[in-house]
Amino acid sequence: MVKIMKEKILMAMSGGVDSSVAAALLVKAGYDVTGAFMVNYDSKNDKLVSCWQGDYQDALRVAAKLGIKLLRLNFVKEYKKMVLDYMYKEYSSGRTPNPDVLCNKFVKFGSWLKKMRELGFDKLATGHYARLGWVIKNKVKLLQADDENKDQTYFLHQLTQIQLKQALFPIGQYTKAQVRQLAKKFNLPTADKEESMGICFVGEVPMKKFLSDKIKSKPGKIIFSSGEIAGRHDGLAFYTIGERIGLKKQNSKPVFVVDKNIKANILIVGYEHDPLLLKKNIEVVDVNWITGLSPKFPLKCEVRLRHRQPLQKAKIIGHNKKIIIDFEKPQRAVTPGQFAVLYKKGECLGGGVIK
């Protein structure tokens, strides 16, 4: 009798409940599973405290419960080069990048995939809330998760066909509540563990504090959009479009960042309904089309400018790596450096950087 070889899966285990359940589902399905805990950031030489040791212990306990081996792999250099250095550069220029998107593109499905192949595994599995769908000519689609509130395709939109064909997302068809139930059913040690909401692989540290240790302060003027001088800022890097800031004024109306003049180092602020806070048309560059081919323009679809933002109807015009998005309704606090991600009928088409 010919022995059927099981597909060898490297399961990225963060020590959280999502990746723990993903690993359990793969084991139950009969795959040859090996866990891997990836160390991507270690602040032992920094002012911050290393945050991965506790998660590693949780991943070890889950692996022991499932009866699988757990590797510990180090990608600190890769994460610094491909994510942190880019992030510091973007913030220093007054833009607001999204480190989670970069981490998925260059580290999780870049360096991790390379290591997976070197170790002889067939695919890399993660605990992302996303689904894959196969179409003609061996193309793979990135589909939204069944749990709309937890869908993480926004963070995965920069992936290519080559990357997605080597990926597995075992929990994409489940809701967060169902994942919790499965964790208890499998009696996993992480069943009741709370979610981490901090910077990808860095931890729950305020962004301003994290950046202040790396980016030199460059103070400048704060000016209302009406032209009135409002005070001094600490540096454009430390402010985000749409952010509410505290300014001492005679009236008590909330004040928001509405724009930045990078060349003049001026922070422009206004009130909640300031026209500068609204944009109906935006330019997006470095667009990645997940199928590898740009669609026919004009394209009617839906767009998301930040994770969990309700999908917005829009018309797309442009060509390949550069597009113009014309929204049906003006969008509030459009932030240069962030990502605009395109969807149609539950499929993530791709996206790019807001200029």
Active site residue 301: no
Task: Tell me if 33 is assigned to a ligand binding site.
Answer: no
Task: Tell me if 20 is assigned to a ligand binding site.
Answer: no
| Cα–Cα distance measured from residue 144 to residue 152, given in angstroms and rounded to the nearest whole number | 8
Task: Tell me if 197 is assigned to a ligand binding site.
Answer: no
Task: Tell me if 270 is assigned to a ligand binding site.
Answer: no
Task: Tell me if 92 is assigned to a ligand binding site.
Answer: no
CB 180 within 8 A of CB 32: no
Largest CA distance in the chain: 85
- Give the closest residue to 133 by CA, choosing from 175, 173, 174: 173
Task: Tell me if 14 is assigned to a ligand binding site.
Answer: yes
- Hey, how many other C-beta atoms are within 10 angstroms of the C-beta on 245? 16
Provide CB contacts within 8 A for 192, sequence distance 6+: none
Task: Tell me if 17 is assigned to a ligand binding site.
Answer: yes
| Cα–Cα distance measured from residue 301 to residue 313, given in angstroms and rounded to the nearest whole number | 6
- Cα–Cα distances (Å) from 337 to 6, 87, 95, 102, 224, in that order, read 43, 10, 5, 12, 23
- Give the closest residue to 34 by CA, choosing from 127, 121, 128: 121
- Hey, how many other C-beta atoms are within 10 angstroms of the C-beta on 232? 10
Active site residue 200: yes
- Both tokens of 253, joined, read 């109306």
Task: Tell me if 127 is assigned to a ligand binding site.
Answer: yes
Per annotation, catalytic residue among 51, 103, 301, 348: 103
Pairing assessment for the beta strands 229-233 and 220-224 based on DSSP bridges? antiparallel
Task: Tell me if 337 is assigned to a ligand binding site.
Answer: no
| Cα–Cα distance measured from residue 125 to residue 132, given in angstroms and rounded to the nearest whole number | 12
Q: Is the peptide bond before 330 cis (omega within 30 degrees of 0)?
A: no
Phi, psi of 162 (to 5 degrees): -60, -40
* Three-state SS at 159: coil
Residues at the binding site for ATP are 12-19, 38, 127
List residues with catalytic annotation: 103, 200
